[in-house]
Amino acid sequence: MAGPRRVDCGNGGMTKTRIEVTMMNSNLSSGPAAIKGPWLVGRAIIRQSAAAFSRGLSGAALAAVAPAAVALAASLLLVGPSQAAGFEKGEKVFVPMFEPNPELDGYAVGLVETVHDDGSLTLKINEVVTGKDKTLAGTCHPSGGTPLAGAQIVSDDPEQLVIEQRLNADEVLPYRRGSQIYLERENLSIAYLKYLGSGMGVTPDRLDVAIRRANNVGLPDMATAMRIAKLQVESTQGRGFPVPASRALQKAAPMLEQVAEVLEGYPGEVKEAARILGGTTPSHRDQPIAAVIVRLHEILEEQLGALAAQSDDPRELADFTTDELLAIYTGWYRVITANDTGPFQNAGVEFYRERAAKALDAGEWPALL
C-alpha cells in the first residue's frame, strides 16, 4: 500500500478548507486527480447548507409568520431538529453540498461508522455525486492555497475508494430526507434550465410548481426568477408554446412594467445582468434573477426582430402603433434600470425612451440596448 502523501488540488474558487481523507473501497473514478466534485468542500459550506433545513416550525406557527418566513419554514419542516441528534451506527446518511443555483448541487452518501460523545459522526462515504461544472479532475498540483491544501491521502486501491470523514451531526441529514430535498432541488433546476433554453413547454402551471419548490427548499432568488419567467410566459398567451410575435408582444408592455417593479428590490442582480448584456461579464446561470433578465432580453430581441422582418419601417406595421412599440421598449428600459432606480450605462429610462421615440418617428427600429 502506498504511504501517505500530501497533495493540493483546486476546484474553481470554492471555499478553502483542510480535510483528512482515507481512500479505501468505492466506485469512484480512479486516482485522486480524477475525484469529480466538491466532497472536499469546507465544513462551513456544508453546515450552512444543512442548517437551512435543521429547524422546524409547527403548522400553527406557520400561519402567523410573514410570507417570506412561510416559504423558508416549508423547507425547514423537511428536517426537524430531532433529526440531527438521532443518528445510529450503521445508519445510511446524506451529506448535502448545496449551492444557491441548484444546478451546481452535489451530495455524498455513506454510513455512520462511529457516533462520538460530542455528537459528531465519523462517516464512511462510498457515493459522491458532483455539482455540475465542478470538477477536481486534472487539477491536483503541489502548490498551496487550494481546497485540498494539507489533505492527507492514503490509497491502497486507486480504483475503489471510500472517504472517511468526521462531521458534526448538523452537517448530515437522514438519507431519505436528504434525498427528497435533493430531488426537489433537481426538479427545480430542470425547470430553470428549460426556461433559459428553448422554453418549450414551460407552462405557467409548471412555473407555479417551480416557484413552490424554490420556496420549499429556501431559495428565494430562484423563486423570484421563476415568478419573472411566469410573467413573461403568461404575457405571450401561448402557455409555454410558440406563438407569432404579433401575438406574443401584445401584452409585453404591462408585463415588463410588472417585472421592473419586482426588480426594484434586486439592484445587484440587475447590474449583473447589465454587465452580462454589456459584455463585461461572461454569461452564466449562477445568479438566477440575472440569468432570467438576460433571457428576457433574448426573447424580446427575437420577437421584435420578427416584427422588423415584416416591415423595415415600424410605422407601417399592421398590428402595432409606434406608441405601442414605444411602450414595449420603455418597459424593457425600466427592467434594465430596476424601474429607473439605477442607471444602465450611465443613463436612465428617459434617455433611452427619447432615443427610441426619435428612431420610431424616423421609421427606424430602436435598439434595446
Task: Quick: pLDDT tens for 49-58.
Answer: 333 333 333 3
pLDDT at 164 over 50: yes
CA distance 22 to 25: 10
With contact defined as beta carbons under 8 Å apart, do 197 and 231 qualify?
no
Query: Domains of the chain: which residue ranges?
Result: 5-181, 197-361
pLDDT band at 131 (very low <50, low <70, confident <90, very high): confident
Over residues 113-138, mean pLDDT = 74
User: For 101-105, 111-115, 172-176, 190-194, which range has the lowest pLDDT when averaged over its residues?
Assistant: 101-105
Residue with cell 426582430: 305
Give the DSSP letter string of 129-195. EPPTT---TT-EES-SSSTTTTEEEEES-TTS--EEEEE-GGG-EEHHHHHHHHHHHHHHHHHHHHH
Lowest mean pLDDT among 101-105, 145-149, 199-203, 255-259: 145-149
Q: Which residue has the higher pLDDT, 198 or 92?
A: 92
**Contact (Cβ atoms closer than 8 angstroms) between residue 153 and residue 23:** yes
pLDDT value, residue 159: 62
Question: Between 351 and 123, where is the model more confident?
Answer: 351
DSSP state of 314: G
Q: Using pLDDT thresholds of 50, 70 and 90, give the confidence band for residue 355.
A: very high
Answer with the residue of higher pLDDT: 348 or 136: 348
Mapping DSSP onto H, E and C, the string for 97-117 reads ECCCCHHHCEEEEEEEEEECC
Q: Does pLDDT of 354 surpass 50?
A: yes
Q: Is residue 210 classed as helix, strand or coil in its secondary structure? A: helix
Angle between helices 322-336 and 288-310 (to 10 degrees): 160
Geometric angle at alpha carbon 195, from 349 and 342, rounded to 5°: 20
Q: What confidence tens digit (pLDDT) does each residue in 205-263 have? A: 999 999 999 999 999 999 999 999 999 999 999 888 889 999 999 999 999 999 999 99
Q: Among 156-165, 167-176, 242-251, 351-360, name the one with the lowest average pLDDT.
A: 156-165
**DSSP code for 79:** S
Helix or strand holding residue 21 (H, E): strand 21-23
Give the 3-state secondary structure of residue 92.
strand
Helices (H) and strands (E) in the chain, counts: 13, 9
Residue 323: all three cell numbers together: 406608441
CA-CA distance, 21 to 126, in Å (whole number)? 12
Q: pLDDT by residue (tens digit) across 292-349?
A: 999 999 999 999 999 999 999 999 999 999 999 999 999 999 999 999 999 999 999 9
Percentage helix, strand, coil for the chain under 3-state DSSP, each rounded to 5: 45, 15, 40
User: How far apart are the C-alpha atoms of 195 and 298, rounded to whole Å?
Assistant: 12
Q: State in Å, rounded, how far the first CA of the chain is from the last one.
A: 62
CB count in 10 Å sphere of residue 88: 8
287 SS3 class: coil
Cross-strand pairs, 93:
110, 174
Region of poorest pLDDT, from 103-107, 235-239, 269-273, 286-290: 103-107
Burial class (CB in 10 A: 0-12, 13-18, 19+), 145: exposed
What is the rounded CA–CA span in Å between residue 14 and residue 247? 45
What are residue 236's phi and psi, to 5 degrees?
-75, -15
Residues 6+ away with beta carbon under 8 Å from 73: 56, 57, 61, 62, 65
Q: List the beta strands (DSSP E) in 40-187.
A: 92-97, 106-115, 121-129, 140-141, 151-155, 163-167, 173-174
Q: How far apart (Å, rounded) are the C-alpha atoms in residues 111 and 126?
A: 8
Angle at 81 between CA 77 and CA 87, to 5 degrees: 115
- Give me 303's grid cell: 420577437
Inter-CA distances, 12 with 39, 49, 275, Å: 13, 19, 21
Between 154 and 262, where is the model more confident? 262
| Contact indicator for 171, 46 with CB cutoff of 8 Å | yes
Calculate the average pLDDT of the chain: 76
b/e sequence 93-110, b meaning 16+ C-beta within 10 Å? bbbbbbbebbbbbbbbbb
